[in-house]
Amino acid sequence: MSPPGTPAQHAVGLLGLGIHLPERVMTNDEWAERIDTSDEWIVSRTGIRTRRIAGEEESTADLALAAARAALADGAFEPADIDEIVLATDTPEVFIPDTSPYVQDRLGVGHIPCYDLAGSGCAGFVLALDIARSRAISHGHRVLVIGVELLTRLMNWEDRNTCVLFGDAAGAAVVGPGPDAVEIVAATAGTDGSKSDILGVEAGGTRVPITVERARQGLHKHVVMQGREVFREAVSRMSQASHEVLEKAGVPIDDVALVVPHQANLRILNAVARRLQVPQERVFINVQKYGNTGSASVPLALWEAREQGRIEPGDLVLLTAFGAGFHWAALLLRF
Ligand SMILES: CC(C)(COP(=O)(O)OP(=O)(O)OC[C@H]1O[C@@H](n2cnc3c(N)ncnc32)[C@H](O)[C@@H]1OP(=O)(O)O)[C@@H](O)C(=O)NCCC(=O)NCCS
């Protein structure tokens, strides 16, 4: 570790990557037993076949901690090697404080600064990588970045329009300077706040406080979304962000070995591939196994791509994500 406040001497990038998945697998047929849907409908509209569901005794910090430990082990780090934690989630451990302090305490990293990107939707992890990169460049810090969601706790389990889409998971990365870092070559991000009400949870804040009646309706814990509008924006913004980051890096799309997009829906991923003019085999897809896991989806996909040997040393890998806000972000990595 560099002394605090010392700018990075080496390239800044990923130094470790880890994930954690709850054990319980839920199939589409199980959904069909609960609500008016079918495996055929879910697969044809979303590509999703299964998703993981956290156990009742599991909380956000549990999943985050397990992914964080996996990322530290992957980079051969001890907790004491970490200078800062940034955690992205829409499903916090409690309402106040944010979730990263719980992870800090249980990880035993000492009194390092910790903060959440709360409610940043499915773009949270990639946004957090960009912020971590800046902290690593300016301060020489090693930053633990976590994307974690228990999105199945934020669903109305009777609303077939949303409940079949999501799953629970956590992913983490250590970001910092290092001679062997998976370099973050370039990053971009954006937000369109005029679309804030199209995807989100309506009640529970100061604008729509919880009342007994609203709580009875579950408004404080149910995601609502205009599916078609979200679909269009997701395709458009993930493609736009990809072009932007490639332009910043001065890299043509043909030089990208693998695109790892946020795993929202197979049709969205196919549409992004078409817009980018990238063949299917250069787009990593695992949404069929896990559904949409929000801010955990990109680290989970990146980790699995690496595990499956889809990434070679020297490869350029493009991450692109989109979520509630609307926020979007893209990052170019060199392995
Ligand atoms: C949600 C989504 C899959 C719906 O697909 P769609 O092709 O747009 O479907 P529509 O909204 O036209 O709905 C068609 C019909 O299917 C029905 N339907 C919705 N969910 C269903 C389900 N799980 N099973 C069976 N039928 C369902 C609708 O009620 C509607 O019925 P109606 O025509 O009788 O009203 C699609 O809009 C989508 O993927 N949106 C983006 C969601 C997303 O990724 N969000 C997170 C982004 S980070």
Q: Which domains does the chain have, with CATH numbers?
A: 12-181 (3.40.47.10), 185-334 (3.40.47.10)
At 214-248, the pLDDT tens digits run 999 999 989 999 999 999 999 999 999 999 999 99
User: What was the pLDDT predicted at 10?
Assistant: 84
Q: What is the mean pLDDT of residues 96-117?
A: 97
Nearest CA to ligand 1 atom 12: 228
Query: Which residue matches tokens 């390239």?
Result: 11
What mean pLDDT comes out for the span 55-81?
98
**Cα 34-298-30 angle, rounded to 5 deg:** 10
pLDDT band for position 188 (cuts 50, 70, 90): very high
Q: Answer yes or no: is the C-beta of 323 below 6 A from any ligand 1 atom.
A: yes
Phi/psi for 213 (5° steps) reads: -65, -45
Between the CA of 161 and the centroid of ligand 1 the distance, in Å, is 5
Give the three-state DSSP class for 10. coil
Percent share of the chain, pLDDT over 70: 98
Average pLDDT over residues 128-132: 98
Rg (CA), the chain: 19
**Is any atom of ligand 1 closer than 6 Å to the C-beta of 292?**
yes
Q: What ligand 1 atom has the least distance to the C-alpha of 164? A: 23
How far does the centroid of ligand 1 lie from the alpha carbon of residue 231, in Å? 10
User: What average pLDDT does the segment 122-147 reach?
Assistant: 97
pLDDT at 1 over 70: no
Does the pLDDT of residue 168 top 70, yes or no?
yes
The answer to whether residue 86 scores a pLDDT higher than 70 is: yes
Nearest alpha carbon, ligand 1 atom 41: 231
Q: Could you give the angle at the alpha carbon of 114 between the alpha carbons of 113 and 117, nearest 5°?
A: 140
| Per-residue confidence (pLDDT) for residue 179, from 0 to 100 | 93
Tens of pLDDT along 311-324? 999 999 999 999 99
CB atoms within 10 A of CB 45: 15
Token pair of 300 as six digits: 């989970």
Q: Does 220 participate in catalysis according to the annotation?
A: no
CA distance 239 to 257: 16
Of residues 122, 163, 220, 222, which has the active-site annotation?
Answer: 122
- pLDDT at residue number 335: 97
Range scoring the smallest mean pLDDT among 66-70, 158-162, 255-259: 158-162
What pLDDT, on a 0 to 100 scale, did the predictor assign at position 82? 98
Interval between CA 327 and ligand 1 midpoint (Å): 22
| Start-to-end C-alpha separation, the chain | 22
Active site residue 20: no
The answer, yes or no, to whether any atom of ligand 1 lies below 6 A from the CB of 161, is yes
Give the span between the Cα atoms of 294 and 225, in whole angstroms: 14
165 and 291 in contact (C-beta within 8 Å)? Answer: yes
Cβ 164 under 6 angstroms from ligand 1: yes
pLDDT for residue 332: 98
Mean pLDDT (the chain) is 96
Tokens at 312, concatenated: 């070679």
Annotated catalytic residue within 139, 262, 265, 327: 262
Does the pLDDT at position 7 exceed 70?
no
Q: Is the CB of 157 under 6 A from ligand 1?
A: no
- In the chain, DSSP assigns E strands to 12-20, 24-27, 50-53, 84-89, 114-118, 143-150, 168-177, 182-191, 199-200, 224-225, 258-261, 316-323, 327-334
**pLDDT above 90: residue 108:** yes
pLDDT value for 47: 98
Q: Of all residues in the chain, what percent carry a pLDDT higher than 90?
A: 94
pTM score:
0.96
Q: How far, in Å, from the CA of 9 to the mean position of ligand 1? A: 49
Contact 227 CB / ligand 1 (< 6 Å)? yes
The predicted pLDDT at position 3 comes to 54
**SS3 of residue 178 by DSSP:** coil
Question: Count of CB atoms within 10 A of residue 313's CB?
Answer: 7
Residue 166, pLDDT score: 97
Quote the CA–CA distance of 252 and 242 in Å, as a whole number.
Answer: 11
Given the CA of residue 31, which atom of ligand 1 is nearest to it?
A: 23
Q: How far is the CA of 329 from the centre of ligand 1 (A)?
A: 25
Residue 4's pLDDT band (boundaries 50, 70, 90)?
A: low
- Spatial distance between the Cα atoms of 280 and 259, rounded to a whole number of angstroms: 10
Say if residue 202's pLDDT is above 50: yes
231 lines ligand 1 (CB under 6 A): yes
Does the CB atom of residue 160 touch ligand 1 within 6 A?
A: yes
pLDDT at 2 over 90: no
Residue 289 has pLDDT above 90, yes or no: yes
Residue nearest to atom 16 of ligand 1 (CA): 161
Active site residue 28: no
Given a cut of 80, is residue 303 above it in pLDDT? yes
Average pLDDT over residues 126-139: 96
Residue 45 Cα to ligand 1 midpoint, Å, equals: 7
Residues contacting 155, CB < 8 A, separation 6+: 162, 163, 166, 222, 223
pLDDT tens per residue, range 243-273 = 999 999 999 999 999 999 999 999 999 999 9
